Amino acid sequence: MATGILALQGSFNDHRKSLELLDKEYVLIKDNGDLKNIDSLILPGGESTSMIKIQEESELFDSLKKLINDGIPTLGTCAGLILLAKDVLDGSVSLGLLDCVVERNAYGRQNESFEGLVKFNNNSQMYCFIRAPKIISARHNVKNVAQLDDEIVGIQENNIVGLCFHPELTNDENYLNWLNNFIVEGNNVRSF
C-alpha cells in the first residue's frame, strides 16, 4: 500500500521526498483514479483556495473525505490544515473534518514568513512558517501536538493531524520518526 499525496498544487514534491527517505511508496493524487491502494494521506501546503478551485468540477474532495472518515491516517500541513478545518476565517471550508477554527495567512504575507522553534514529538526543532494559518481554537476532543512559544501550531483528532508549519522542508530525524510512526506504522490513530 502507498501514501497518497494531494498533488493539485503546492509543496507535494517536498512530502514525496520525506516518504522516499522512509522508503514508503507514494501516489501523487490528482483525481479519484489515484485513490486506489492508498493506506495513508498527506495534504500539503500551498494555496488552499487554488486547491479547492482546481478540484471543484470533480468529486475528489468527497472521496478524500470518505477515506479520512473511514480512519486513514491523514496529515495536513499549512494549506492542508486549512482544507481539513471545520471553520476557516477569511476562507472557505472544504473537507471540514478537523474540529478547529483556523485563520488563513494569520502570521502574515510571504515576506513575513519565518522559522520558529517548535516543540513537536517531545523535541524542539526549527520549522518554517510560510504564509501560515493560525489555529484560533480547537474543541475539547482535539489534542495539542505542537507548540511555538505559547501558541498551538499542531493538533490531532483521531486519525487526523494538522500542522501550521512545514516539517517536510527540514526532514529532520524527529519529524521522520514521527511520520514513520503515524503514516507508515499507523500508530496513534484510531483502529480501522
Any idea which residues carry the catalytic annotation? 78, 166, 168
Three cell numbers written together for 65: 473525505
What is the spatial distance between Cα 156 and Cα 70, in angstroms, rounded to a whole number? 16
The strand pairing partners of 114, in sequence order, are 129
Given a contact cutoff of 8 angstroms between Cβ atoms, the answer to whether 154 and 146 are in contact is yes
Distances (CA, A) of 75 to 27, 43, 108, 111: 15, 6, 23, 26
Between CA 75 and CA 165, with CA 174 as vertex, the angle to 5 degrees is 45
